[in-house]
Amino acid sequence: MENTKQLKTWLDDLGLDHPLVIAGPCSAETEAQVLAIAHELKDSDVSYFRAGIWKPRTRPGNFEGVGALGLKWLQKVKEETGMKTATEVANAAHVKLALEHDIDLLWIGARSTVSPFIVQEIADALEGTDKIVLVKNPVNPDLALWLGGVERLYAANIKNLGVIHRGFSTYEKTKYRNIPEWQIAIELQNKFPDLPLICDPSHITGNRDLIFDVSQTALDLNFNGLMVETHTTPDEAWSDAAQQVTPDKLKQIMEDLRIRKVTDTETDFRVTIGNLRAQINIVDSQLIETLGRRMKIADEIGALKKEKNVAVLQSKRWNEILGNMILEGEERGLSEEFVLKMFKAIHQESINHQEKIIKKS
């Protein structure tokens, strides 16, 4: 991408005084459902009405979308509410149909981004279009693959581009459906600051109760907008019910979000320091999660030592760890004194955990 300055034109042209909001149901289910949601959102700050027409499912037999019929419903949304429309495309046939029905914004889903062949097929079908095209991050945390998708579209002379951060799959049990791995989105943002970055808190959380917090974090990190799945009766939704919010709840979320306002000459400083502090908060949270996982392993070691009647303190092993960590710390600009204090505290907590296990009858 030789000139990323061109990439933000579409967002600037919207002239918004608030972050971009794309909202609507995970899946278009019926014409009545689509229009009902759209009419409840038409007087809000939602700029694009989204609805899944084709739904890629992990296993056959699940609801895979209504197909091209739903595109006519999106046309009615535009006619009746004036809102622009958005949907996901996964192949050239989807692109052709979406363009024929004048869909304003298309996005490439996480399952499609993983395949350069699919992205290239979509890029070829979209070549030269002035429609907005957004690329969701791939399922796995691979920044190069994510950027590669954008580059293929840019090479096809598609200038109105952006990306959607929807989190990454993991085998670990966390409170999120897809872990945010914010540092990957931050790295993308740092490399291409003029590439619009949208957060999809619905897919990150998988839980409507967490959507506000993730949305606020995204805005603190200077994301340009949000894509939030919205349904009039979310518990009855045909797909991803747990992560959808009602239109009223979405309006409340947008009202409660803290959005930086330009008020004085120190705004740049405050925005920058706010962004850096948000990054620190994320790293601190990751540190706590990592330490928690370490202590769970220490608990397993304690149980094994109890079973085999082995002493808790293993001095040789401890000295090896400490020596290795001091060397690694030096490579990362950490002083020996700091590394010693930190790992002595971690080691002591591990011993405490193991002693508790061994003392249990």
Rounded CA-CA distance 80/40 in Å is 12
- When mean pLDDT is compared across 9-23, 199-213, 259-273, the lowest value belongs to 259-273
- When mean pLDDT is compared across 48-52, 92-96, 240-244, 316-320, the lowest value belongs to 316-320
Cβ of 298: how many Cβ atoms within 10 Å? Answer: 19
Does 279 share its domain with 227? no
* Position with higher pLDDT, 62 vs 96: 96
Instruction: Answer yes or no: is 262 within a domain.
Output: no
Burial of 243 (0-12, 13-18, 19+ CB in 10 A): buried
Reference 122, options 162, 152, 163; nearest CA is 152
Looking at residue 59, its pLDDT comes to 66
- CB of 198 closer than 8 Å to CB of 164: yes
In angstroms, the Cα distances linking 149 to 96, 112, 146, 189, 286 are: 19, 9, 5, 15, 28
Which residue type occupies 123?
Answer: A
Phi, psi (5° rounding) for residue 20? -60, 135
Pick the last residue of a domain from 256, 278, 301. 256
Does 205 share its domain with 336? no
Q: What CATH number should be reported for the domain holding residue 300? A: 1.20.59.10
Rounded CA-CA distance 215/217 in Å is 5
Rounded CA-CA distance 114/134 in Å is 14
Q: Which residues contact 298 (CB under 8 A, 6 or more apart)?
A: 349, 350, 353, 354
Which residue type occupies 107?
Answer: W
> 227: which DSSP letter?
E
Question: Residue 20 belongs to what H/E stretch?
Answer: strand 20-24
Residue 105's domain comprises: 4-256
Overall number of domains in the chain: 2
Does 222 share its domain with 305? no
Does 220 share its domain with 276? no
- Using left for φ > 0, alpha for ψ between -120 and 50, and beta otherwise, residue 65 falls in left
Q: What CATH number should be reported for the domain holding residue 248? A: 3.20.20.70
Angle among Cα 280, 285, 290 to the nearest 5 degrees reads 120
Angle among Cα 157, 123, 189 to the nearest 5 degrees reads 75
Query: What is the per-residue pLDDT across 227-281, written as a single tens digit (0 to 9) for each?
Result: 999 999 999 999 999 999 999 999 999 999 988 654 555 667 777 787 788 888 8
Does 279 share its domain with 248? no
Looking at residue 6, its pLDDT comes to 43
Does 248 share its domain with 271? no
Does 10 share its domain with 96? yes
Instruction: Answer yes or no: is 46 within a domain.
Output: yes
Instruction: Answer yes or no: is 350 within a domain.
Output: yes
- When mean pLDDT is compared across 66-80, 219-233, 288-302, the lowest value belongs to 288-302
Alpha helices in 82-210 (DSSP H): 92-100, 110-113, 116-126, 143-155, 182-191, 201-205
Rounded CA-CA distance 42/230 in Å is 13
Rounded mean pLDDT, 187-199? 92
Burial of 71 (0-12, 13-18, 19+ CB in 10 A): buried
Does 36 share its domain with 153? yes
Does 44 share its domain with 121? yes
Looking at residue 61, its pLDDT comes to 67
Does 237 share its domain with 347? no
Instruction: Answer yes or no: is 261 within a domain.
Output: no
Is the pLDDT confidence value at 37 over 60? yes
Does 294 share its domain with 329? yes
Query: What is the per-residue pLDDT across 314-345, written as a single tens digit (0 to 9) for each?
Result: 788 888 888 899 999 999 999 998 988 898 89
Pick the last residue of a domain from 231, 256, 281. 256
Looking at residue 4, its pLDDT comes to 41
Instruction: Answer yes or no: is 208 within a domain.
Output: yes
Q: Which residues contact 62 (CB under 8 A, 6 or more apart)?
A: 55, 239
Rounded CA-CA distance 211/254 in Å is 11
Which residue type occupies 330?
Answer: E
SS3 30: coil
Instruction: Answer yes or no: is 44 within a domain.
Output: yes
Instruction: Answer yes or no: is 272 within a domain.
Output: yes
Rounded mean pLDDT, 89-100? 97
**303's tokens:** 């149980």
Instruction: Answer yes or no: is 18 within a domain.
Output: yes
Rounded CA-CA distance 220/143 in Å is 21
- CB of 8 closer than 8 Å to CB of 195: yes
Does 151 share its domain with 64? yes
DSSP state string for 38-64 = HHHHTTTT--EEE-BSS---SSTTS--
With both helix axes pointing from N to C terminus, report the angle between 247-256 and 31-41 in degrees, rounded to the nearest 10: 30
% pLDDT > 90, the chain: 64
- When mean pLDDT is compared across 117-121, 129-133, 274-278, the lowest value belongs to 274-278
- Kindly indicate the confidence band of residue 136, based on its pLDDT and cuts at 50, 70 and 90: very high
Looking at residue 5, its pLDDT comes to 40
SS3 339: helix
Pick the last residue of a domain from 223, 256, 289. 256
